[in-house]
């Protein structure tokens, strides 16, 4: 459990301390940026960069460094120091420098919901693939390397396809990258099948968010690959489509193209549900994610949820708060509400 957070020269904060308690913690202020910065600082301790910026961007303007320190219930202190001039980050436990992996071994898992996550079901399939890959990285640390190796092989294969078309390379040279690509793709599909099966088996709980207005709900993974025989399917594709790939300089199937959808009575979620229903369903996907991660890792979960209650009605607020009751949760909001009365801790900025 997270007990305290200390920020020095972090973004818009000079020097500030926060105290958190078990279960629900609300951060209330009318400017969303300040509240979001607190969640970003916590996420950095857990090796997540929510805004994907250079680490020097977290240093307060006109300052040379920032310091983030988190204390847990066992009195261990985890900290990050960022040197703006050298764009360098130092991770420490009890003021002794250490590695990211060591921190991850000792910390809980965090699950983050941001307003931009609302776009996941509306915009590019990349966002949905990133959602699955983030779950798998959070569950299996080795998955990140497999995914990076796959993307590197894909980049090199596509570059070689172009060179073959321009007579700068021979067809036979593609075999090397094909073998690496297939090897890593098989591994990725092994992990994705696990999370896909879990979502398929547990997606029924989302019906509660829609007050059972639907008869059927399904998680639908979309791929051109035969998931029952991945390696054979990929080999057959390469044999059959190499000439086409050379013409288009691209590899138009495999994990980097796949997608998923939520079907409500066989209609896509975005064509069926309202915006607040979609937000509720995405939050419940996060809850299913939590159950999956806890099942595999046996670690506790901390939720960081930015702007939880906008676009949600009171019924869904109550359902979500009830579901979060067994975990520590840090929620930002712009106003106090009746539903906050029973929470553990309210922080006003």
Mean pLDDT of the chain: 86
- Is the distance from CB of 60 to CB of 66 less than 8 angstroms? yes
Complete domains list, the chain, with CATH: 2-108+303-348 (3.40.50.300), 125-270 (1.20.1050.90)
Q: What sign for the dihedral angle of Cα 226, 230, 232, 236?
A: positive
- Distance, in Å, from the CA atom of 148 to the CA atom of 143, rounded to the nearest integer, reads 9
- Whether the predicted pLDDT of 316 surpasses 80: no
Tens digits of residue pLDDT in 197-212? 999 999 988 776 666 6
- Whether the predicted pLDDT of 340 surpasses 70: no
pLDDT of residue 274: 76
- Distance, in Å, from the CA atom of 194 to the CA atom of 182, rounded to the nearest integer, reads 19
End-to-end CA distance of the chain: 22
pLDDT of residue 113: 85
Q: Is the model more confident about 62 or about 181? A: 181
- Reduce the secondary structure of 255-270 to three states and give it as a string: CCCCEEEEEECCEEHH
| H or E element in which residue 97 lies | strand 96-97
Greatest mean pLDDT among 40-49, 150-159, 314-323 lies in 150-159
The stretch 244-259 carries a mean pLDDT of 90
Q: 308: closest CA among 288, 326, 293, 323?
A: 323
pLDDT of residue 86: 84
Q: How confident is the model at residue 214 (pLDDT cuts 50, 70, 90)?
A: confident
pLDDT of residue 215: 85
The stretch 284-299 carries a mean pLDDT of 91
- Is the distance from CB of 5 to CB of 42 less than 8 angstroms? yes
The stretch 162-188 carries a mean pLDDT of 94
């Amino acid at each position: 459990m997270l007990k305290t957070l200390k920020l020095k020269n972090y973004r818009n904060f000079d020097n500030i301390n926060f105290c958190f308690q078990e279960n629900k913690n609300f951060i209330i202020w009318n400017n969303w940026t300040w509240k979001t910065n607190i969640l970003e600082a916590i996420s950095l301790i857990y090796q997540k960069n929510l805004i994907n910026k250079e680490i020097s961007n977290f240093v307060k303007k006109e300052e040379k460094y920032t310091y983030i320190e988190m204390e847990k219930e066992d009195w261990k202190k985890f900290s990050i120091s960022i040197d703006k001039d050298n764009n360098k980050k130092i991770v420490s436990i009890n003021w002794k420098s250490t590695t990211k992996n060591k921190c991850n071994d000792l910390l809980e898992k965090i699950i983050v919901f941001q307003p931009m996550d609302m776009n996941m079901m509306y915009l590019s399939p990349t966002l949905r693939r990133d959602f699955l890959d983030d779950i798998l990285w959070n569950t299996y640390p080795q998955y990140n390397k497999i995914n990076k190796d796959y993307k590197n092989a894909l980049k090199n294969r596509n570059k070689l396809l172009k060179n073959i078309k321009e007579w700068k390379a021979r067809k036979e040279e593609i075999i090397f990258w094909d073998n690496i690509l297939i090897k890593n793709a098989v591994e990725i599909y092994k992990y994705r099948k696990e999370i896909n099966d879990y979502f398929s088996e547990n997606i029924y709980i989302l019906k509660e968010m829609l007050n059972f207005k639907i008869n059927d709900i399904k998680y639908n993974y979309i791929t051109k690959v035969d998931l029952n025989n991945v390696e054979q399917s990929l080999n057959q594709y390469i044999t059959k489509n190499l000439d086409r790939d050379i013409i288009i300089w691209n590899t138009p199937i495999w994990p980097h193209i796949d997608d998923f959808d939520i079907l409500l009575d066989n209609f896509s979620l975005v064509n069926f549900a309202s915006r607040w229903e979609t937000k509720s369903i995405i939050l419940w996907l996060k809850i299913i994610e939590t159950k999956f991660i806890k099942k595999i890792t046996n670690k506790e979960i901390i939720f960081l949820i930015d702007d939880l209650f906008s676009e949600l009605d009171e019924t869904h607020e109550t359902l979500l708060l009830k579901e979060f009751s067994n975990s520590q949760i840090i929620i930002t909001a712009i106003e106090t509400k009746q539903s906050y009365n029973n929470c553990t801790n309210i922080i006003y900025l």
